Structure 1
């Protein structure tokens, strides 16, 4: 190993400055209107309002940062109509209904490398230090990094990347432009296109199935699969068990945070959002556009209706209707939960005065 030099001690830059583009181009990407100012000014980066300097783009989404907006030195700022008057002279306002969503579109154009996890290597091929079974089918442009293992009869779509130490077990199928991060494990699974699997994810292992009894717990074979729709993203350390007698399903566009546990036979709809450390027990059903806050728990065999939101640290014991907002233990309508909490505080305050 070589001794570190002054050059190697310098902090690395993983996402270098973006290419220079005009404010007009930024507005087109963002779907925003240039309210005033010069659309030909150039932008080469993005910065928070209080760190904005000429050549950078800022945005305002949270009104608590209005003071920073009034003093920013950024060249341009994505802003909604209600805060337009606060944009200082000299800053080009880019009017948009949703500044944060517009920012996401711009960042995707300026920093395309930030849309997927970083590769461990710049090589765009199958590493000589990876193991790929002869029967595996790899599409055009597939990258397999050092230490990865690709099992028999695996099919991997064009443009996909398998990170170092990742294992794709026999007979699994991955669509086009998927990314499987370092040390992830994929077995008994079928993935759509553009699925992002972050490091340390485990897909398709046994569901927790035992026939309990006084004479010992008899293991029940888990014979289903994990089926992941296109454009799903799964955070580091998340585990998704394969089905017992049917498939475990994650619908297209769903985003799952780090350290989430999803049990066997769970059926998650399209475009759901599941935040970190959520546990979903076997055979639960989440319809489309469900959102579940961090550290919440969902009992087995319950159904959560379309578009329903569950607050963090809540426990869902029974079915929840579509379109509701629920929280607490057990989860109940948010208004009821808040009223009960306030009533308990009042009672506690009264008791303390006695």
Structure 2
């Protein structure tokens, strides 16, 4: 079976063009006119590839890389590279590499039509009352309900379901098998395959005959430039809106409960659970597999370590971690103390023998 190439190489950029576009220093470029057409890891790169180095753990791979060009972090600018490999120096090699990747593979930045066609499929089900601007793509077996409004340049991928009254801005990407209801989306929003957005949240009240379900009558409001990973779920508000702020990025398999308000430019990593009515202010970052209790506020710019549980309010700019989460210094101090106590206990047990 022939190897599949899902992101074919384009014309690329010369080393000189890359350095200029990235605004970084050329330390050693024996062939500035060499054309770079791809990106790869240090150990897999070839003469037409760009790679980067910013971790001493991979020093042996740097010594043997076959890459045509490598971006070195400033602190490793003096590291030797193989003969014939151009070296560029950037304060942040990872950032420069990411920017270069965007230039070399623009088609990899967002979902593309599954069918490969940019048109409205005859096999899509679109309610006559839906309003579509010019340039909308709707793929086979997508369903667009009554009163829906969709802006120009937006893709609705195969099998996606857009519920009645939803509004989707311009240049959005709604992935395959997404279900969207009771939601308002801004411009350039990306929902990856399998996102569930706008369903009712988990709300029950104990009554004399068992659990009574409570109504959820709010919406989900997703602002401009938000990206939401595959199979993430966002519940609509119960008595006010669930909000995801401008520029926020959410990983795969995240659960966001009803009435949650997430600020601008937040980062939420995979398998995080955020309970109802929690508030994340602008610039909050939450590591993977963490949980956030309902009705708490995480202040602007705060960072939560992976596998933590947030049970109370977190001050702005703080760095917390642990179960329950606390300031990182306190958390590390407690872990060190416990480790020391365990060591002493083991030592005492041996001496008793």
Report the TM range for the smaller structure's normalisation. Answer: over 0.9
Out of 242, 256, 272, the position equivalent to 1:278 is 272
**CA deviation profile, 1:254-290 (whole Å, cap 9, x unmatched):** 1111111101110001111111111101110001111
What is the aligned counterpart of 2:332 among 320, 329, 338?
338
Structure 1 contact 206–241 (Cα < 8 Å) conserved: yes
Q: TM-score, normalised by structure 2?
A: 0.94
Is 1:234 aligned to residue 219 of structure 2?
Answer: no
CA distances 1:230-267 after superposition (whole Å, capped 9, x unpaired): 11111111110011111100011111111111011100
Cα RMSD after superposing both structures: 1.4
Matched positions, count:
346
Give the ranges of 4+ consecutive aligned residues of structure 1 lying more than 4 Å apart after TM superposition: none
2:46 maps to: 53
- Residue 350 of structure 1 corresponds to 344
> Aligned equivalents of 2:208 and 2:327: distance in 1?
40
Q: Which moved more, 1:311-320 or 1:20-29?
A: 20-29
Identify the residue that residue 144 of structure 1 maps to in structure 2: 138
Instruction: Work out whether residues 43 and 55 of structure 1, in 8 Å CA contact, stay in contact via their aligned partners in 2.
Output: yes
Determine the structure 2 residue equivalent to 1:69: 62
Is residue 29–residue 105 contact of structure 1 (8 Å, CA) maintained in 2? no
Q: Residue in 1 aligned with 2:263?
A: 269
The answer as to 2:290 corresponding to 1:293 is no
8 Å contact kept, 2:74–2:92: no
Cα deviation, residue 107, structure 1: 1.0
- What's the CA shift for 1:103? 1.3
Residue aligning to 2:106: 112
- Secondary structure (helix, strand or coil) at the match of 2:77 reads helix
Whether 1:24 and 2:16 are equivalent positions in the alignment is yes
Residue 175 of structure 1: CA displacement?
0.9
Within the candidate set 255, 261, 264, 2:249 is matched to 255
For normalisation by structure 1, the TM-score amounts to 0.94
**Aligned counterpart, 1:4:** none
Alignment of 1:73-222 (within 5 A): 73-88=66-81, 89-222=83-216
Partner of 1:308: 302
Per mean C-alpha deviation after superposition, the further-off stretch among 147-156 and 81-90 is 81-90
- Check conservation: 1:30, 1:103, Cα contact below 8 A: no
Please list the CA deviations of residues 124-155 of structure 1 after superposition, one character each: whole Å capped at 9, or x if unmatched. 11111110111111122111111100011111
Query: Separation in 1 of the partners of 2:91 and 2:134?
Result: 40
User: Quick check: 1:195–1:230 contact (8 Å CA) kept in 2?
Assistant: yes
CA distance in 2, matches of 1:251, 1:62: 33
Q: Cα distance, 1:91 vs. partner? A: 2.2
